[in-house]
């Protein structure tokens, strides 16, 4: 038992006592001293001058001759106020404190003592050690008997609910976006088609599967570099890092044996490629496990707009508390501006969610074993989650990588990594004697052949992170997969005078250049065109029908008013109950996906729908555009021969006589003529009310003529009685007359 005592005070050295050597009394001069020496004596000068003697008679004589002065009354003066005394502190002190005329001057030996001290210090610099130091060196101490206190790492202070465990196995899987998921830390969870990260308190292992894609391997290596520099998951600086690459046969050494021992398995227990879940199927369905809640008063409100889909950092608010349930991981995300009461309430409600029963039976992927949905020990429905699952807190700006990996647009911490072996003073790598090459010296001629090899990029439109191509089918030859786009329903509204009017089916695709239209497209994606990764051949597998998707198109005519454009955007917001994407389409810039919605009958009329102008002539002219059957469309032009062209087709319509006249230029190909004919026949079959035909579709007469074979009916329609061609015609040969009537 240790005893403590107080050391006695040392006696004071008498040599340090300051003694008085002598004291003298010094008188202080007064202000009026020596004034007599400066000023002369007046008595001395007065004695040298003669004096005049006067008596009483002289005074009487002066009084007789003097004039008597009259008496003057005394002036009456008011009484003066008693003035306040001076406030000058110096004068008050002089008035109260007597001024001393002398003082005592004391002489001590302090200067002599300081001089002697300096001399002793100078001598001690060259002298030996002090007696206390010599005594300490002479003493012997047995350090073997001294036991240092051991530090228990488990007793280190923690804040509780850490979002990590001492043993974690993370799955890194995906073809476009590699998500991080916590899996059961056993060797049977490993497969040769994906990448894994095993984290222990002292070692970190990276497993690179033999058939894993390049994105998964790159993501794994980036995470390893990030952990070395930032120490995430509570890792310390003494942690060692190992990489196990199946492609390089790194799984037959002692490191892999230790890796297998930690996971309690044998080196041959991992799954082979045939039993690996497809990356596309995994990536498309893993988002169904995402469940998001927000703290509202004393309740957790599920956010239906963000559940069961890819997560974005835009949903996070610094003033709110969110709870994320990923199945094997449950996190409480605290905004940096959220108060303590909300944080405690969010933690309590999240604990109730963690302890309550769970049900993921509707999901296609098991959250506790994503690669094996038939695992009897990992049920998708139960009352208690496995012990290896994580329940923790995530504070804003200090989230773990496992949490960040669930968001597809999280700001990349892995993009700004520096090489681990990059020294701080790496600026001196180039010797000073060597001059770095200039830019001119580094220039090399480019390969012209590579510049001429132009790769055809297919037309592709992306909605909700899905490739739609031209609106019918999409296939990626790199990923060896594809899907079909199936239209479920289509609705069209006409916006006019702050109101919207739904159009009939026959009017679908009949737009006017001065109006605005809203189109709701309901569709779904059906998986198709899968190919084997190893053989490249088409694989026979069950096509999984995707969910219903909704997209809104806002078509704006070239002459539409800004007011109608703004109103259409607001109306689309009110119509959009499904929270689908909104796509603005400008006339003459229509996407292929938009055109295929109307199956080659898309037509743009001049003017407004509700204001049809009366014309002297009942003929109307339309130009044909398009190279694909479902994307063909027509534009209305002024009826004039100057608008004709030899390299395309035109359609003349007379709504009074029910005539449709299809004219082909001489420069058109057979395919163009066939497409124009097919599109015109579709318009005849639908008989849209925007053409204002007098009869039914069977009453419409359809004619098809070639350039150079025109008849009088054609010239009368374009008001050219002289048969003058005002356009630049490519007609330069004898063409046989032909006129075809189609019933």
pLDDT of amino acid 27: 80
> For the segment 138-150, what is each residue's pLDDT rounded down to a tens digit?
566 666 666 656 5
Sign of CA dihedral 364, 366, 371, 374: negative
Is 80 exceeded by the pLDDT of residue 538?
Answer: no
- C-alpha to C-alpha distance for 495 and 502, rounded to whole angstroms: 9
Instruction: Please state which of the ranges 22-36, 240-254, 298-312 shows the lowest mean pLDDT.
Output: 22-36
Is 70 exceeded by the pLDDT of residue 379?
Answer: yes
Task: Count other C-beta atoms under 10 Å from residue 381's C-beta.
Answer: 10
DSSP 632: -
- What 3-state class would DSSP assign to 673? helix
Span 201-221, average pLDDT: 89
In 3D space, the residue among 356, 312, 349, 314 whose CA is nearest the CA of residue 332 turns out to be: 349
C-alpha distance across the termini of the chain, in Å:
119
Instruction: Please state which of the ranges 191-200, 203-212, 360-369 shows the lowest mean pLDDT.
Output: 360-369
- C-alpha to C-alpha distance for 682 and 593, rounded to whole angstroms: 19
> For the segment 473-504, what is each residue's pLDDT rounded down to a tens digit?
888 877 778 888 999 999 999 998 888 899 98
In 3D space, the residue among 78, 104, 121 whose CA is nearest the CA of residue 22 turns out to be: 104
Tokens of 573: 């917001």
Chain mean position to CA 290: 20
Is 70 exceeded by the pLDDT of residue 620?
Answer: yes
Sign of CA dihedral 157, 158, 160, 161: negative
Instruction: Please state which of the ranges 129-133, 432-436, 451-455, 559-563 shows the lowest mean pLDDT.
Output: 432-436
pLDDT: which is higher, 479 or 403: 403
- C-alpha to C-alpha distance for 36 and 59, rounded to whole angstroms: 38
Strand (E) or helix (H) holding 551: strand 545-556
pLDDT of amino acid 145: 63
Residue bearing tokens 């398995």: 265
**In this structure, are residues 633 and 590 in contact, taking their beta carbons and an 8 Å threshold?**
yes
pLDDT confidence of 734, banded at 50, 70, 90?
very low
**In this structure, are residues 331 and 392 in contact, taking their beta carbons and an 8 Å threshold?**
yes
Task: Count other C-beta atoms under 10 Å from residue 553's C-beta.
Answer: 22
In 3D space, the residue among 713, 715, 738, 736 whose CA is nearest the CA of residue 725 turns out to be: 715
Query: What stretches of 35-109 show up as alpha helix (H) in DSSP?
Result: 35-38, 42-47, 56-65, 89-96
User: CA neighbours within 13 Å on the CB side: how many for 20?
Assistant: 6
Paired residues of 207 in beta bridges: 196, 244
pLDDT of amino acid 597: 92
Residue bearing tokens 């008595």: 43
Is 90 exceeded by the pLDDT of residue 517?
Answer: yes
> For the segment 156-204, what is each residue's pLDDT rounded down to a tens digit?
444 578 888 889 999 998 888 888 889 989 888 888 888 999 999 889 9
Question: Exposure string (b/e) for 25-62, b if CB count within 10 Å is 16 or more?
Answer: eeeeeeeeeeeeeeeeeeeeeeeeeeeeeeeeeeeeee
pLDDT confidence of 24, banded at 50, 70, 90?
confident
- C-alpha to C-alpha distance for 493 and 500, rounded to whole angstroms: 6
> For the segment 267-285, what is each residue's pLDDT rounded down to a tens digit?
666 667 666 778 888 888 8
CA distances from 457 to 445, 461, 474, 509 (A): 26, 12, 13, 28
CA distances from 290 to 136, 302, 319, 678 (A): 70, 11, 22, 48
In 3D space, the residue among 234, 172, 156 whose CA is nearest the CA of residue 200 turns out to be: 234
- C-alpha to C-alpha distance for 168 and 170, rounded to whole angstroms: 6
DSSP 174: -
Chain mean position to CA 274: 39
Task: Count other C-beta atoms under 10 Å from residue 422's C-beta.
Answer: 8
Task: Count other C-beta atoms under 10 Å from residue 155's C-beta.
Answer: 7
pLDDT of amino acid 674: 94
Span 545-559, average pLDDT: 88
pLDDT confidence of 610, banded at 50, 70, 90?
confident
**In this structure, are residues 354 and 327 in contact, taking their beta carbons and an 8 Å threshold?**
no
Instruction: Please state which of the ranges 350-359, 415-424, 502-511 shows the lowest mean pLDDT.
Output: 415-424
**In this structure, are residues 163 and 394 in contact, taking their beta carbons and an 8 Å threshold?**
yes
Is 60 exceeded by the pLDDT of residue 12?
Answer: no
- C-alpha to C-alpha distance for 333 and 591, rounded to whole angstroms: 41
- What 3-state class would DSSP assign to 126? coil
In 3D space, the residue among 115, 110, 117, 112 whose CA is nearest the CA of residue 18 turns out to be: 110
pLDDT of amino acid 651: 94
> For the segment 70-126, what is each residue's pLDDT rounded down to a tens digit?
666 667 777 777 666 667 777 776 666 666 778 888 888 888 888 888 877 866 665
- C-alpha to C-alpha distance for 501 and 493, rounded to whole angstroms: 5
Is 90 exceeded by the pLDDT of residue 437?
Answer: no
**In this structure, are residues 164 and 170 in contact, taking their beta carbons and an 8 Å threshold?**
no
pLDDT of amino acid 738: 43
pLDDT of amino acid 8: 42
Share of the chain above pLDDT 70, in %: 76
List Cβ neighbours of 683 (8 Å cut-off, separation of 6 or more): 601, 603, 634, 651, 660, 691
Torsion region of 397: left, alpha or beta (phi above 0 gives left; psi -120 to 50 gives alpha):
left
- C-alpha to C-alpha distance for 178 and 217, rounded to whole angstroms: 10
Instruction: Please state which of the ranges 223-232, 383-392, 446-455, 595-604 shows the lowest mean pLDDT.
Output: 446-455
- C-alpha to C-alpha distance for 125 and 27, rounded to whole angstroms: 48
The pairing of beta strand 195-199 with beta strand 203-208: antiparallel
In 3D space, the residue among 390, 377, 294 whose CA is nearest the CA of residue 342 turns out to be: 294
Query: What stretches of 126-253 show up as alpha helix (H) in DSSP?
Result: 131-138, 214-230
List Cβ neighbours of 350 (8 Å cut-off, separation of 6 or more): 300, 323, 330, 332, 391
Q: Which domains can be identified in the chain, with CATH numbers? A: 168-404 (3.40.20.10), 464-605 (3.40.20.10), 619-742 (3.40.20.10)
Is 60 exceeded by the pLDDT of residue 421?
Answer: no
CA distances from 173 to 148, 179, 191, 379 (A): 48, 6, 11, 21
pLDDT of amino acid 613: 54
pLDDT of amino acid 135: 61
pLDDT of amino acid 422: 40
pLDDT of amino acid 59: 73
- What 3-state class would DSSP assign to 664? strand
In 3D space, the residue among 517, 544, 548, 505 whose CA is nearest the CA of residue 528 turns out to be: 544
């Amino acid at each position: 038992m240790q005893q403590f005592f107080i050391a006695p005070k040392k006696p004071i050295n008498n040599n340090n006592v300051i003694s008085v050597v002598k004291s003298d009394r010094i008188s202080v001069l007064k202000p009026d001293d020596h004034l007599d020496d400066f000023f002369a004596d007046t008595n001395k000068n007065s004695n040298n001058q003669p004096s005049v003697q006067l008596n009483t008679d002289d005074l009487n004589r002066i009084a007789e001759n003097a004039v008597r002065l009259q008496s003057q009354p005394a002036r009456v003066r008011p009484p003066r106020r008693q003035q306040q005394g001076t406030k000058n502190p110096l004068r008050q002190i002089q008035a109260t404190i007597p001024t001393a005329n002398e003082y005592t001057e004391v002489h001590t030996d302090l200067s002599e003592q300081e001089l002697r001290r300096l001399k002793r210090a100078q001598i001690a610099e060259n002298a030996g050690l002090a007696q206390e130091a010599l005594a300490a060196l002479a003493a012997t101490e047995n350090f073997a008997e001294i036991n240092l206190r051991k530090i228990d790492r488990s007793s280190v202070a923690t804040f509780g609910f850490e979002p990590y465990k001492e043993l974690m196995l993370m799955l890194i899987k995906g073809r476009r976006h590699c998500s991080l998921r916590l899996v059961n830390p056993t060797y049977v969870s490993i497969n040769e088609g994906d990448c894994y990260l095993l984290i222990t308190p002292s070692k970190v292992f990276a497993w690179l599967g033999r058939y894993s894609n390049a994105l998964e391997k790159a993501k794994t290596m980036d995470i390893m570099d990030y952990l070395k520099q930032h120490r995430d998951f509570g890792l310390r600086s003494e942690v060692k890092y190992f990489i196990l690459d199946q492609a390089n046969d790194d799984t037959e050494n002692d490191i892999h044996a230790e890796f297998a021992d930690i996971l309690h398995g044998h080196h041959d227990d991992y799954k082979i490629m045939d039993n690996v879940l497809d990356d596309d199927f995994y990536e498309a369905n893993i988002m169904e496990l995402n469940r998001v809640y927000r703290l509202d008063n004393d309740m957790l409100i599920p956010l239906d707009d963000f559940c069961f889909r890819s997560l974005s950092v835009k949903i996070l608010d610094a003033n709110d508390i969110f709870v994320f349930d990923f199945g094997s991981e449950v996190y409480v995300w605290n905004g940096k501006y959220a108060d303590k009461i909300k944080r405690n309430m969010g933690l309590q409600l999240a604990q109730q969610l963690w302890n309550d029963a769970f049900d993921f039976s509707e999901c296609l992927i098991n959250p506790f074993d994503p690669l094996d949905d038939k695992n009897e020990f990992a049920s998708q429905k139960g009352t208690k989650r496995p012990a290896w699952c994580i329940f923790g807190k995530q504070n804003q700006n200090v989230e773990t990588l496992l949490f960040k990996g669930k968001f597809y647009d999280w700001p990349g911490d892995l993009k700004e990594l520096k090489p681990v072996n990059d020294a701080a003073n790496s600026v001196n790598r180039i010797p000073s004697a060597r001059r770095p090459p200039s830019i001119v010296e580094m220039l090399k001629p480019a390969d012209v052949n590579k510049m001429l090899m132009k790769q055809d990029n297919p037309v592709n439109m992306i909605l909700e992170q899905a490739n739609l191509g031209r609106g019918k089918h999409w296939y990626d030859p790199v990923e060896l997969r594809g899907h079909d786009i199936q239209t479920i329903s289509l609705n069209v509204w006409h916006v006019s005078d702050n109101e919207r009017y739904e159009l009939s089916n026959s009017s679908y695709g009949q737009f006017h250049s001065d109006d605005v239209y809203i189109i709701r497209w309901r569709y779904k994606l059906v998986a198709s065109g899968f190919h084997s990764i190893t053989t490249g051949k088409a694989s026979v597998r069950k096509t999984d029908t995707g969910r219903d998707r909704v997209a809104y198109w806002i078509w704006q005519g070239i002459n539409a008013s800004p007011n109608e454009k703004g109103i259409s955007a607001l109306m689309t917001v009110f119509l959009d109950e499904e929270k689908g994407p909104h796509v603005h389409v400008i006339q003459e810039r229509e996407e292929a996906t938009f055109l295929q919605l109307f199956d080659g009958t898309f037509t743009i009329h001049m003017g407004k729908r509700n204001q049809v102008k009366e014309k002297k002539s009942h003929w109307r002219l339309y130009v044909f555009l398009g190279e694909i059957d479902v994307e063909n469309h027509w534009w209305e032009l002024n009826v004039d021969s100057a608008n004709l062209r030899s390299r395309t087709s035109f359609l003349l319509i007379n709504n009074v006589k029910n005539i449709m006249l299809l004219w082909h230029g001489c420069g058109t190909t057979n395919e163009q003529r066939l497409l124009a004919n097919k599109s015109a026949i579709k318009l005849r079959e639908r008989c849209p009310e925007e053409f204002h035909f007098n009869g039914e579709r069977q009453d419409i007469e359809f004619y098809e003529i070639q350039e150079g074979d025109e008849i009088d009916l054609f010239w009368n329609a374009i008001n050219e009685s002289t048969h003058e061609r005002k356009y630049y015609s490519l007609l330069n040969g004898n063409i046989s007359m032909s006129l075809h009537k189609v019933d």
